[in-house]
Amino acid sequence: MIRLSMLDRKLVRDLARLWAQSLAVALVMACGVMTLILAMGATRALEDTRAAFYDRTRFGDVFATATRAPESLKAEIAAIDGVSAVETRIANPVIIEITGMAEPATGMLISIPDHGEPAVNRLYLRSGRLPEPGRTDEAAIIEAFAEAHGFRPGDSFDVLINGRKRHLSITGITLSPEYVYAIGPGDFVPDQKRFGVIHMHRTVLEGAYDMKGAFNSVSLTLARNADRKDVMARLDTILKPHGGTGAYDRTDHMSDAFLDTELTQLRAMAQVIPPIFLFISAFLVNMILSRLIALEREQIGLLKAVGYSNAAIAWHYSKLTLLISLVGVVIGAIAGTYLGQGMAALYGEFYSFPFLVFSQKPDLYVISMLVTFASALAGAANAITGAVRLPPAVAMRPPAPTGYHSIFSGTSEGFRLPFSQLTIMALRHLVRWPMRTALTTLGTALPVALLITSLFALDSIDHMIDTVWFRADRQDATLTFTAQASEDAIRDVSRLPGVLAAEPFRAEAATLRNGHRSRIVQIVGSDPDTDISRVLDQDFGAIKLPPAGLLLSERLAEHLDLAPGDQVEVELSDGQGRRVPVPLVGLTNSYVGLTANMSREALDRLSGQGVRISGARVIVDESRIGELYDAVKQTPAIASVALQGVSRKRFQEVIEENIGISITIYVSLAVIITFGVIYNSARIQLSERARELASLRVFGFTNAEVSKVLLTELGVMVVLAQPLGWLIGRGFSELVAKGFESDLFRIPLIINPPTYAVSSLVVLGGALVSALIVRRRIDRLDLIRVLKTRD
Amino acid sequence: MRSDPPTSTLPIFAVSGLTKVYRTGDVEVRALNGVDLALEAGEMAVMLGPSGSGKSTLLNIVGGLDRPTEGSVKFKGMELSGASDRQLTAYRRDHVGFVFQFYNLIPSLTAWENVALITEVAAKPMAPGDALALVGLESRMNHFPAQLSGGEQQRVAIARAIAKRPDVLLCDEPTGALDSATGIIVLEALARVNEETGATTAIITHNAGIRKIAHRVFTFLDGRIASSEINETRVKPSEVTW
């Protein structure tokens, strides 16, 4: 049997006595440990899995597309300094027809070499086999799409390839590094049912698209020390005469960029949230230990008097701190591991990796434990130093009475503030310990801030949905033609069943330059009085497109260092290499992508190729939408269709589900912090003032009146914490919104008043419950005992 | 000094057969064992006796802080032994003034405010300044407890106790923490208050010297009143020897 030293017995009994307060602190620590393990574990899981998967499948470093480039260029590209492998291929959007699904699905049809594996972007075969050479009706499809439709090798579906319907039989189910996060045209989140990736042999697609000896897509891997920018510039030079639309690297690769965004989020979570919890728990440890040491002042004096060293006393209180922290670490580690597995499962739904393992390496737990111990000891340091410094003779005498300042009253005879003596007691106590009051207020403000930071996403996304789908892109569907067509095509579109209105658009890839700065973007030309899809100014008002000049989204203008009135050099990616100066006439508001707009007529003039349209945006009679879907599936000239209404619904669904989970987590975290701070604060107050409060009871004050002293004090801090929490929350939200900002999308910072209100109400509710738990102790004050003892 | 207690028809307190038993685990302590006692209005009584003889227990029950195990306590005819918490709180608030050995002042309130704390909720209080003047502290009203000497603090406690014009003033070892010179000043304040407000005053003390200032002296032993005597000639507190 282990024999505990007498000091350790005291430790165990102290801990047993302080269990409720210790648990409240341990829970706050547990939240820190949990979020640390969760965020770091998930970050590692995603990073490691991504690295391993990319490595295994040789995911490209640089990508580019062209209209039609001769295969002979492949050798030229391979010869660029720094390129280690090149894969050319044919990749085109297609419309997929699935029996039993009304709306058409879209897909990317991508070629794979007839023999052997691709040098870049290899496929990971989940089941079945790749198509056999020479078979024109065989295809492999990506797993997410297969699973959404219950496809297995041997099943088949129809696809519109270059205007001809083909019946394809599925030979294998694959994963592709290019489509870990597979997102269809016009979509904001993956819709596995409506977007598929199909791989077929090169010869088959050469035949289907009349691309013999040519390619329209190229991916490269680079040598370790390659100059990426240089490679991209050279690749652009080679592809330009063949309709090259500009090389881009992984950062701008849709799938990888989304993964990066998720990682940014996780890293931000690991960096911001655990420190908040650890800071609060350090403060709580300080509060509890300071009080415990004040109460045990005479015991400490006695221990020193009988010969215990300062080190023994410091270690005694450190052990208490470490034991509380250990409880927090254990609870946090269990919760973090459990939630981490849940998070990995959630990622499994969104990201198509062959495996995704939530990292549970011991070092993660060791780091969490050390960080927690260190912050707790830092919080305890001040109190423990106080105990060590106390000379034994002084310690055994009662402490000097606490002095107060005569504020909140006025003069005894003259003017008096309208506070009762009970209120004055509460207020003076707050002012007497300004640091503690400030930290408790801050500790209560942080959960408010945390809630605002998690809830603001709802407001921002509502605003985004409103802006994107109800103010800007108000069409029900966007039809993109296989090739640019004459203006007459819009009449054909208008005649499609169910179409109520149709607006043409022209899209041209172009390089925009300003001095040494340049960007490759799509310039979208629309009619000046366009009403279905509108361009918004910075106040979200619709802009009438000016007859000449370019409108750029704010972020794009920033990238190019342009202001309205400046000239932009525009070079269309039509292989002609003409550079035309175009005035920047205004800035637009866009949350998605880098956008450039101009009037269709101006774009037609710029191209010098007459009036051409790339597709149409349509408003559809909802009751006839099925007929439109059928027609689209039968129309060879339509290459792809983006369904804005369906995208919006899917987006809302996914967001609601995800935000629902995260809000539950954040509300729980906020309530735990509030409880930790307020409960402990109230317990300490009660302990310090037990004698005072019991005296009040003796003098005939009721329980309710006596509680008022305690509740006033807490109330003042909790109320002060609200505006402070709003401010901090706004600051945090701004950081989060900034952190999310990328060229692909940005989140506006919108915080509606109800968000502030709800955040405050949750914390006020938590504070009230914590205070009432402590309030019950006032009813049990021992009136007689306190009268016989001195402070 | 006047030696006769003020007379009235009904005693302020009528205590009969009062017994208090404390149980902790298997141990049973009989703190009071059948005490009978009557205190007259305006009377000053001193209760003497060794530690554990039951005097504080009696004071707590009479002051409405504790309930007896058996027996009856009547305040002006009202039975206290069966009163609810709420009734006892109201009783203490309206009728009783307490003075304790360790003063029990609120450290965050000045002398004046400590008194005002009570007058704010009392039915017909005196002005806090008047109560402090009665104990000779009119010049120290804006001082906090930490800025006052022990004797001054105890006088603030007395001012606080009497400011509500209580029917009874219960003092548990009011001079226990004070030196003799200061103790005398405090006793003088108590005697003056008793004289001027007519509050029935009960003082518990270990100090037999104080007995001489009382109208009546009760001596406690083992939970009973061993003797009760009337002082034929009371002395002024300043003449008390410690």
Angle ∠(A548,A549,A550) on CA atoms, nearest 5:
135
Cα–Cα nearest to A521, from A486, A545, A557: A557
| Tokens 């005894």 found at | A412
CA distance A456 to B41: 70
In this complex, do A790 and B96 lie within 8 Å of one another by their Cβ atoms? no
β-bridge mates for residue A172, sequence order: A128, A140
Work out the minimum CA distance from A695 to partner chain B, whole angstroms: 6
pLDDT in the model for residue B143: 92
Work out the minimum CA distance from A749 to partner chain B, whole angstroms: 46
pLDDT in the model for residue A345: 78
pLDDT in the model for residue B5: 54
- For residue A424, the chain B residue with the least C-alpha distance is B109
In this complex, do A421 and B89 lie within 8 Å of one another by their Cβ atoms? no
- For residue B110, the chain A residue with the least C-alpha distance is A406
Residues B163, B134: contact at Cβ < 8 Å?
Answer: no
Interface of A with B (CB under 8 A): 400-404, 406, 409, 411-413, 420-422, 424-425, 428-429, 432, 691-692, 695-702, 705, 783-784, 786-791
Q: What domains lie within chain B, and their CATH numbers?
A: 41-64+92-239 (3.40.50.300)
Name the residue among A404, A783, A788 with its Cβ closest to that of B144. A404
Cα–Cα nearest to A575, from A206, A238, A79: A238
Using an 8 Å CB-CB cutoff, list chain A residues near B113.
Answer: 409, 412, 421, 424
CA distance A503 to A529: 10
Chains A, B: CB contacts within 8 A come to: 96
- For residue A702, the chain B residue with the least C-alpha distance is B89
- DSSP 8-state assignment for residue A416: B
Name the residue among B106, B120, B141 with its Cβ closest to that of A412. B141
Parallel, antiparallel, or unpaired: how do β-strands A567-572 and A499-514 relate? antiparallel
Work out the minimum CA distance from B89 to partner chain A, whole angstroms: 5
Name the residue among A401, A406, A422 with its Cβ closest to that of B142. A406
Using an 8 Å CB-CB cutoff, list chain B residues near A704.
Answer: none
Work out the minimum CA distance from A413 to partner chain B, whole angstroms: 8
Using an 8 Å CB-CB cutoff, list chain B residues near A786.
Answer: 104
Using an 8 Å CB-CB cutoff, list chain A residues near B107.
Answer: 401-402, 404, 692
In this complex, do A412 and B142 lie within 8 Å of one another by their Cβ atoms? yes
Instruction: Report residue A618 CA to chain centroid gap.
Output: 33
Instruction: Please provide residue A170's backbone torsions phi and psi, each rounded to the nearest 5 degrees.
Output: -80, 125
Asked if the model's pLDDT at residue B19 lies above 90, the reply is yes
Residue to test with chain B: of A699, A712, A788, most B Cβ within 10 A: A699
Work out the minimum CA distance from B64 to partner chain A, whole angstroms: 9
Angle ∠(B9,B10,B14) on CA atoms, nearest 5:
145
In this complex, do B98 and A698 lie within 8 Å of one another by their Cβ atoms? yes
In this complex, do A429 and B108 lie within 8 Å of one another by their Cβ atoms? yes
CA distance A466 to B58: 77
Name the residue among A428, A784, A787 with its Cβ closest to that of B108. A428
Contacts of A56 (CB under 8 A, 6+ apart): A122, A124
In this complex, do A406 and B172 lie within 8 Å of one another by their Cβ atoms? no
In this complex, do A784 and B60 lie within 8 Å of one another by their Cβ atoms? yes
Work out the minimum CA distance from B215 to partner chain A, whole angstroms: 26
| Tokens 């990796």 found at | A353
Name the residue among B96, B129, B145 with its Cβ closest to that of A401. B145
In this complex, do A404 and B107 lie within 8 Å of one another by their Cβ atoms? yes
Sheet holding B216-221, edge to edge: B96-100, B168-172, B200-204, B44-48, B216-221, B224-230
CA distance A529 to A550: 16
In this complex, do A403 and B60 lie within 8 Å of one another by their Cβ atoms? no
pLDDT in the model for residue A392: 80
In this complex, do B120 and A692 lie within 8 Å of one another by their Cβ atoms? no
In this complex, do A412 and B120 lie within 8 Å of one another by their Cβ atoms? no
Quote the longest CA-to-CA distance of chain B.
54
Residue A394, helix vs strand vs coil? helix
Asked if the model's pLDDT at residue B238 lies above 90, the reply is no
In this complex, do A699 and B92 lie within 8 Å of one another by their Cβ atoms? yes
Using an 8 Å CB-CB cutoff, list chain A residues near B86.
Answer: 702
Name the residue among B100, B109, B145 with its Cβ closest to that of A787. B100
Using an 8 Å CB-CB cutoff, list chain B residues near A691.
Answer: 104
Sign of the C-alpha dihedral computed for residues A519, A522, A525 and A531 taken in this order: negative
- For residue A689, the chain B residue with the least C-alpha distance is B106
Interface of B with A (CB under 8 A): 56, 60, 63, 65-66, 86, 89-94, 96, 98, 100-102, 104, 106-110, 112-114, 116-118, 120-121, 128-129, 141-142, 144-147, 160, 172
Cα–Cα nearest to B205, from B28, B55, B52: B55
In this complex, do A700 and B144 lie within 8 Å of one another by their Cβ atoms? no
Q: Where in A339-492 does DSSP place strands (E)? A: 477-485
Residue to test with chain B: of A437, A689, A693, A695, most B Cβ within 10 A: A695
Residue A188's CB is within 10 A of a number of other CB atoms, namely: 21
Task: Identify the weakest region by mean pLDDT among A451-465, A730-744, B47-61, B150-164.
Answer: A730-744
Residue A452, helix vs strand vs coil? helix
pLDDT in the model for residue A646: 86
Q: How many helices (H) and strands (E) does chain A have?
A: 21, 20
Using an 8 Å CB-CB cutoff, list chain A residues near B94.
Answer: 700
CA distance A739 to A456: 14
- For residue B109, the chain A residue with the least C-alpha distance is A425
Instruction: Please provide residue A642's backbone torsions phi and psi, each rounded to the nearest 5 degrees.
Output: -105, 125
Which residues of chain A are under the pLDDT cut of 70?
Answer: 1-2, 358-359, 409-416, 786, 788-791
In this complex, do B145 and A699 lie within 8 Å of one another by their Cβ atoms? no
Residue B163: which pLDDT band, with cuts at 50, 70 and 90?
very high
β-bridge mates for residue A117, sequence order: none
Using an 8 Å CB-CB cutoff, list chain B residues near A428.
Answer: 108-109
